[in-house]
Amino acid sequence: MSAPFAGGRRRQGLDIWPGFVDALATLLMVIIFVLMVFVLAQFYLGAALTGRDEALGRLNRQIAELTQMLSVERATSADLKLNLAQLAADLQSSPRPTAWSRPIGRRSRSSSPTLSALPAISTP
Residue 89 identity (one-letter amino acid):
A
Taking alpha carbons only, the member of 23, 19, 20 closest to residue 31 is 23
Q: Evaluate if pTM is beyond 0.85.
A: no
Distance (Å, whole) CA 19 – CA 24? 9
What are the b/e assignments for 72-106, b being 16+ CB within 10 Å? eeeeeeeeeeeeeeeeeeeeeeeeeeeeeeeeeee
Distance (Å, whole) CA 122 – CA 120? 6
Sign, CA torsion 99/103/107/112: positive
pLDDT tens digit string along 19-51?
A: 999 999 999 999 999 999 999 999 999 999 898
pLDDT tens digit string along 82-123?
A: 999 999 999 999 887 665 555 566 555 555 555 555 555 666
Q: Cβ distance 22 to 15 under 8 Å? A: no
